[in-house]
């Protein structure tokens, strides 16, 4: 058996209860290896997912499904650096994911 994250789907259920991603441009902060990204990206208009941990971003890029390649971008960058260069009012939604 391989390691299984949240096979009961509790996180996905909570997410779908709280937000409808349809038509939204999403910034995901602390995306890691894209584990959560895959669970909602197909519904969003566009996803920009960032993480300061390079190996995680590399795994996310390698695992990016073909049908999401036009919709999802992964960037190896910390949030502060990203935010300093990003324009105001760029996203309809943001996910601050396990990023204390």
Partner 1 sequence: MVHALEQIGRLLKADGILIDIQPRRETALGEVHQAGRVIFAEPFPDQEDSWEDIRHAQAAFSEAIGRGLLELEDHRDFDFVVYGDSTAELQEALEAASAYSTSVQDPDERLRWLAFAARVQEAAVSAGPGTQVAYREPVRMSRLRKPI
**Sole binder of partner 1 in the list 39, 46, 59, 75 (CB under 8 A):** 59
Of 12 and 68, nearer to partner 1 (C-beta) is: 12
100 makes contact with partner 1 (CB under 8 A): yes
Residue 36 or 41 having the CB closest to partner 1: 36
Tell me if residue 76 falls in helix, strand or coil.
strand
Beta bridge partners of 53: none
- Rounded CA separation 18/71 (Å): 21
| Closer by beta carbon to partner 1, 63 or else 68 | 63
- Is residue 22 part of the contact set for partner 1 (CB under 8 A)? no
Q: Judged by CB under 8 A, which of 6, 58, 67, 73 binds partner 1?
A: 6
Secondary structure of 20-48 in the HEC alphabet? CCCCCEEEEECCCCCCCHHHHHHHCCEEE
CA distance 53 to 76: 7
Contacting residue, 22, 23, 27, 37, with partner 1 by CB under 8 A: 27
């Amino acid at each position: 058996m391989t390691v299984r994250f949240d096979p009961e789907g509790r996180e996905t259920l909570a997410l779908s209860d709280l937000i409808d991603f349809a038509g939204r441009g999403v910034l995901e902060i602390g995306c890691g290896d894209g584990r959560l990204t895959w669970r909602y990206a197909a519904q969003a208009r566009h996803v920009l997912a960032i993480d300061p941990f390079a190996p995680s971003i590399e795994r996310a890029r390698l695992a990016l499904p073909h049908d999401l390649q036009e919709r999802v971008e992964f960037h190896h960058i910390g949030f502060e650096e990203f935010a300093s260069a990003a324009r105001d009012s760029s996203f309809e939604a943001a996910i601050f994911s396990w990023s204390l």
